[in-house]
Amino acid sequence: RRKPHYAYELTPEAERLFPKAYDELLNELLSKLKGRISAEALGEALSEVGRSLAARWTREDSPSEGASIEERARRVLEMIELLGGVAELRAEADGWVIDSRICPFAAVVSQHPEVCRVVASLVAEAIGEGYRVYGSCDRVEWPHCWFKLAESRAGG
């Protein structure tokens, strides 16, 4: 037997048809937290969640020490999938790009864009030192993000 030739994914409209009480819960929880703590404290807490998940998932499977940037990036794809997202990796002339076509927190980021920090910090933590990670989140139609991975240069 072999793998199927086609991959299917739900459209944003179909995704909304599946009930997810945790979306409503997280939206409400974040709204309440915003009324109680500073935006800076909330942002740092969300970043810490991403770092913690990456550290835990990296420890559980295999250490990233000695892994190539491509191997680390492929591990990030798995982490994004564990969160419920869909991402792909592509090579570019000056590095790698992780393109998260389906955001794992799509139902939340439109009301609480700071939640994007969870995935951004997860990516940075999983990629590790020696690499620059920068990205962008697009929340216009259906939320998705991308992250550019490049080797750090001495002095830069």
Query: What are 26-65's pLDDT values in tens digits?
Result: 999 999 999 999 999 999 999 999 999 999 988 765 555 6
Q: What's the pTM value of the predicted model, to 2 decimals?
A: 0.78
Q: Residue 116: what pLDDT?
A: 92
The two tokens of residue 3 are 């793998």
DSSP state of 154: T
Q: Residue 43: what pLDDT?
A: 95
Taking alpha carbons only, the member of 153, 152, 142, 147 closest to residue 15 is 142
Q: Residue 2: what pLDDT?
A: 63
**Beta strands at 131-138 and 86-92: parallel, antiparallel or unpaired:** unpaired
DSSP E strands, the chain: 86-92, 95-102, 131-138, 144-151
Angle at 156 between CA 75 and CA 135, to 5 degrees: 40
For the chain, which ranges sit under pLDDT 70? 1-5, 7, 15-20, 60-65, 153-156
